[in-house]
């Protein structure tokens, strides 16, 4: 019975993590250093950054902790589908760190150099989050190999 509760908590933590990442990804893809100027967008970016530190990042840590616990408890070992899933989760974790840094940079006063403080590639981050989640859910449910 405890195992099913761990699964439920893991799914809840992942849901909060992915929702927070999605908000950050959409904001960063919609704003850049020129459109993020002004008090309105900067306030939204700072609030989102605070949410990321207080809610999204802890949810990611809890998802990792519960996921590792489930793997050990379930005795799954190095199943190929699990290895593929973990690889995607590592990519999403790295993307989360990049998004969190981007939120902080965009929420700060614009640099005088005119250089965009975040990578232009981050405008594709919402698609990466969606594709990663679809791939993970497919791997977990179908276990194709």
Residue 31 or 131, more confident: 131
- What are the pLDDT digits (tens) for 6-22? 999 999 999 999 999 99
Euclidean distance between CA atoms 54 and 96, whole angstroms: 14
pLDDT in tens, 74-107: 888 899 999 999 999 999 999 999 999 999 888 7
**How do the domains of the chain map onto residue ranges?**
2-142
Which residues have CB under 8 Å from 54's CB, separation 6+?
none
Element (H, E) at 120: none
């Amino acid at each position: 019975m405890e195992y099913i509760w761990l699964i439920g908590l893991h799914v809840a933590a992942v849901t909060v993590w992915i929702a927070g990442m999605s908000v950050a990804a959409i904001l960063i893809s919609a704003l850049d250093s020129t459109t993020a100027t002004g008090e309105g967008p900067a306030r939204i970016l700072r609030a989102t950054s605070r949410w990321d530190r207080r809610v999204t990042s802890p949810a990611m840590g809890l998802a990792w902790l519960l996921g590792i616990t489930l793997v050990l408890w379930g005795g799954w070992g190095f199943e190929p589908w699990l290895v593929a899933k973990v690889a995607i989760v590592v990519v999403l974790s790295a993307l989360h760190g990049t998004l969190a840094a981007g939120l902080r940079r965009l929420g700060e006063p614009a640099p005088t150099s005119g250089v965009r403080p975040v990578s232009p590639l981050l405008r594709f981050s919402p698609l990466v989050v969606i594709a990663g989640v679809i791939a993970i859910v497919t791997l977990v449910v179908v276990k194709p190999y």
